[in-house]
Each structure stands twice: as structure tokens, then as C-alpha cells.
Amino acid sequence: MGIREFPGGAPRGKSIAVGMRRSPDVSPRRLSDISPQLRQLKYLVVDEAIKEDLKWSRSVEDLTSGPVGLTSIEERILRITGYYGYQPWAASYKREERPRDSPGPAEAQAPAGAEAGGRTSPHCWRCSRAQLKKMFWGVAVVLCVCSSWAGSTQLAKLTFRKFDAPFTLTWFATNWNFLFFPLYYVGHVCKSEEKQSVRQRYRECCRFFGDNGLTLKVFFTKAAPFGVLWTLTNYLYLHAIKKVNTTDVSVLFCCNKAFVFLLSWIVLRDRFMGVRIVAAILAIAGIVMMTYADGFHSHSVIGIALVVGSASMSALYKVLFKLLLGSAKFGEAALFLSILGVFNIFFITCIPVILYFTKVEYWSSFDDIPWGNLCGFSVLLLTFNIVLNFGIAVTYPTLMSVGIVLSVPVNAVVDHYTSKIVFNGVRVIAIIIIGLGFLLLLLPEEWDVWLIKLLTRLKVRKKEETAEGGADLGSGPQSKNRRARPSFAR
């Protein structure tokens, strides 16, 4: 800081002393009067050591009347330049009246008892009641997703011991999708203040398909392809359960998140993120290691290929839905899933009949069908899809995805006691790699910005604590004078 004198003819030491005088009759000068000096300060780079000294560069009145904190750049310039009529207590008063901007996603809201100067009290991380409620619902949703997904997988494995017909099981469970819109309407009647009839609600949700609503052309062009993808996803997943254990199937299906990112990046031109590319590479490496864990036997290779195909169909379903239909509200999503059930009833029913008469999927008598297992699997799969599609209303979407990952250790524990699975080192590493890739894909797009803000805040807080600790050590009169009137000479 090599400036010794400023316009006005007064040396800097004298100007600071004069600037500390209270002169209520004289209004403060404008910053436009010192615009040449402001242009010079614009390109000034302040060292970290100087910043620490600037924290104590306040006048006596600012320390006694204003809040203890870093002053604005306007106050610093007016104080240093020593313009007559500057009233720091008035500027501090204006600063207190100014409403505080709401913090961003990475910032925690400070409570009413926060200390001045950017330092918050030890209770600054206290959550509000709404956040606690959302977290509570999040835990419930995670448990529901995990239990329904793991339960349906294990029940399907158990069903195939008595009823070896994966496509028929897929067809039977998909028919239950018809219940989506009726269940949604029941919730609408119970919760909504403006209750509508079934026809009114149906017509309003049909606007999702366009101005003409749900026509025959829209049904075959925008609903039928998704019905085919839905059937293929579930059939390939169930058929893979016959070939490999449920642990491998559940962990390999988690790769669909990586496939969604790759397809979105190519088709939807989504933002490129290096961390998600790393996650996709981890998913592919995990697939290869999982194949190697069983020694590349034909059964395991076919089963892994079926699961990867199921994950690919699921990713294609999600990307095409976003490309062709965009985002849907709750009622629109419920109607769409019910339409998929209707499509399955009218257009997919012929396939199980053909498979039965060709004895590809054959059962001797209808009494031999384990109806309890079929209905239980259908109910669990319906519950899983309901929570996955409508759980966002009560909690965060990331927590719902975590429930899918948690189903992997649940299936591993069940397989350990019910099957002859061998958890060798390669299989365990593959499971960990795929799970890590899945969790990396859950990071938000601005995760790096939030991380930098958090690290910066922690660094600033540490420096402030260090400065306060050093200030408390010097309790003599000299330290007090040095704090009130610091020296700017370098």
C-alpha cells in the first residue's frame, strides 16, 4: 500500500483521525468523487497477510457502535481516504437494515442467534422441522425401496423353482400397472382441496400427450414403444435370475444409471461431467470382473449378458421418455403407467399363450401355479414402482436411488444362507466398484462448486479462529491500541 497522501491535501494519518469525527450536519461524499483512485484499487491484489490486518482496520466508533465484522469496501475506502462527513455508525445501521439473501444449496441457514462478522454460533447447523420431516420420510422411502426390490427379486427366484415361466410372470406383474391411476385418484380425492371427477382428472392428465389428448395415433407412437421396453426390461431381469444368483443380478442392474448418463450425453446432449465418466468406467470394469469371478462359464456369461441387456433397456426407456415426452406430473405419470398396463393386457397377452402351446413355458395344470408367489411378486413390484415414481413428493430423489444400492447387501445376506454362492475376492471387488460408480452418479451437477464453497468456508473459519486466539493472548494496553489503530506502513 504505497499511497501516502490522497486528494484533499491531508496526510493519511490525519485524514483517518478527521474521518472519525462525527459531523451529522455534513452528508458523506459520493464514491464518484474518488473514481481515479477506485480504478487503481480495482486491479489491486491483496495478500492474505494484509487481509488479516484489514479485519482490524476499523475506527473506534465502528468497534463500539456497529456490529463486529468485516466492513464493506465502501466503508474501507471512505475511512482510509478520510473524507469529511463520513459516519461509520450510519453505514452500519444501513447494513443492518438490508435483508439477507437466502443461502445457496451448499450453505446452511444461520439461526437468529448467529454472531456478527460472518461467524455463526455452534448451533448453526440446526435443521428445521420441514427438513427433519423430509429426512424421516427419506429413511422410510429408502427402507421401502430396498425391501420391495430385494423382496421381489428373492420371491421371483423362489417362484422359478415351481413355475419356470419368466415371461408369463412378467406379463402377470405388468398387468397390475393398471392400478396406478385408480390409486392416484384415491390419493387425489383424499388430499386435494379442489376435488375433480374421474373424467375431469383423466382429461386434465391426458394433456400430457398433446392438445388432442390420448388418441389412437398417440397410443401407438408414444405409449406402445415404452410398453415394449418395459416388458423387455422385466423379462430379461427375471430370466437372468434363473441363470445367476440374485446378488450378481441386483448389483449388475445398478449399471443402468451409468447407461442413462452415457445415452443422455449422446442423445440429449446433457452436460459433460468427468466424475460421471469415471463412474461409467467403473461400472464397465465391474461387469468384466463379475464375469471373471465365475470363470467365464456359459451359464454365468449368459446371465450377466441378460442383466446388462435389462439395464440397457431400462436406460433406453428413461432417455426416450425424456426425449419424447419430457417430464410428467404425478397424475400424468400414473396415467401413463396405467396405459402401459392396458397395452400389456391387449397386445402382449398373445405371447404367453403362444409360449404355453409351444411348451417353451409350460405347466401341466393351473392348480400347480403358485398363485401366492405370483401375487406377492406383483404386489412388491407395484409397491417398488409406486414409491420410485411418487416418493419424490415426500423426500429427495437421491435417497430413493440409495435404496436400490442397499438391496445388494440384503440379497447377498440371503444368498449366503440360501444358496451356494462363493464371495471370492474378485466378486467382492466387483460389487464395491459397481456400487461406488452408482454413488458417484448420484452427485449433483454442481457438486464441485459446493465442495469449493465448503472448503473455502472452513478455511476462512479456521483463519478467524486463529486470529481471535492470537488476539486473546495479548491482553496488555499495547495490544489494545494496536487493534484499535493498526499501522498500514509496509
Looking at residue 450, its pLDDT comes to 77
Which residues are registered as beta bridge partners of 135? none
Q: What is the pLDDT of residues 159-217, one digit of tens each?
A: 998 899 999 999 999 999 999 999 999 988 888 888 888 999 999 999 898 888 889 99
Q: What is the pTM of this model?
A: 0.67
Q: Which of 264, 270, 304 is nearest to 284 (CA)?
A: 304
Q: Binning pLDDT at 50, 70 and 90, where does residue 52 land?
A: low
Residues in the chain, total: 490
Greater model confidence, 412 or 85: 412
The 3-state DSSP class for residue 106 equals coil
pLDDT of 37 above 70:
no
pLDDT of 224 above 50:
yes
Measure the CA dihedral 248/254/260/262, to 10°: -70
Q: Which of 162, 192, 140, 166 is nearest to 361 (CA)?
A: 166
In the predicted model, what is the mean pLDDT of residues 447-464?
79
Cβ pair 249, 303 in contact under 8 A: yes
Looking at residue 349, its pLDDT comes to 95
What is 114-143 written as a DSSP string? PPSTTPPPTTTTPPPHHHHHHHHHHHHHHH
Q: What is the pLDDT of residues 251-275, one digit of tens each?
A: 999 999 889 988 988 888 887 778 8
For the chain, give the mean pLDDT: 75
Q: What is the pLDDT of residues 296-339, one digit of tens each?
A: 676 788 999 999 999 999 999 999 999 988 888 889 999 999 99
pLDDT of 490 above 80:
no
Q: Binning pLDDT at 50, 70 and 90, where does residue 64 land?
A: very low
Q: Which amino acid is at 42?
A: K
**CA angle 386-398-146, nearest 5°?**
50
Q: Binning pLDDT at 50, 70 and 90, where does residue 457 land?
A: confident
In the predicted model, what is the mean pLDDT of residues 124-152?
82
The 3-state DSSP class for residue 11 equals strand
**pLDDT over 70 for what percent of the chain?**
69
Q: Cell numbers for 123, please give them.
A: 448451533
